[in-house]
Structure 1
Amino acid sequence: MDFIREFFPVLLPIVILEIILMIYALSHVLKHDRYKFGSRTMWILIVIFIQIIGPILYLTIGREEK
């Protein structure tokens, strides 16, 4: 239990950043129909299951620019 208390101040901002990125990326995936490659289902799975890297991947290489 002391281990968690020791690293909590470092982990909390990372967890908050992950949640914000995931919500933003998921909302973008669900609102748009076109992607540079892949499908909606693929991007939803990547964003949800590949923690911080998944949303960043979608936002940098997955979404289609208008």
Structure 2
Amino acid sequence: MTLSFIQNMGGGSIIIFLLFGLVYGILWIYCLVDILRSDFKDSNMKIIWIVVILFAQLIGPLVYLAMGKSTKITTYS
């Protein structure tokens, strides 16, 4: 079933899916590294954000980018 779906998609669709996957992978890694390098107001927030990123695969990084900044400690140097 899946093999025939891929064969009928054509070359352009496969490239779009690969680009989407690459962009999503880069976004996921960026969010995970940002969480690990950041300090949060609550010490448990780092663990909570990691769990959100790992288990909410599609919307986890988007939720972190939208809401994560308000839970970080901002330091100005």
Please give the range of the TM-score, normalised by the shorter of the 2 chains.
0.7 to 0.9
Q: Percent identity?
A: 31
Computed over aligned residues only, the root mean square deviation of the Cα atoms, in angstroms, reads 2.2
Number of equivalenced pairs: 65
Q: What aligned pairs does 1:45-56 form with structure 2 within 5 A after superposition?
A: 45-56=51-62
Provide TM-score, normalisation by structure 1: 0.75
Computing the radius of gyration over CA atoms, which structure comes out larger, 1 or 2?
2
Q: Which has the higher contact order (CA 8 A, sep 6+)?
A: 1
Distance 2:63 2:4 in 1: 34
Q: Is 1:3 matched up with 2:5?
A: yes
Per the normalisation by structure 2, the TM-score is: 0.66
Cα deviation digits, residues 6-51 of structure 1 (max 9, x gap): 1523321221121111100000000012158x61111111112222
Alpha-carbon separation, structure 1, partners of 2:60 and 2:68: 10
Any gaps of 5 or more consecutive residues in structure 2? none
Amino acid of the residue matched to residue 52 of structure 1? L
Unaligned runs of 5+ in 1: none
Q: Where do 4+ consecutive residues of structure 1 move more than 4 Å?
A: none
User: Match for 1:51: what amino acid?
Assistant: Q
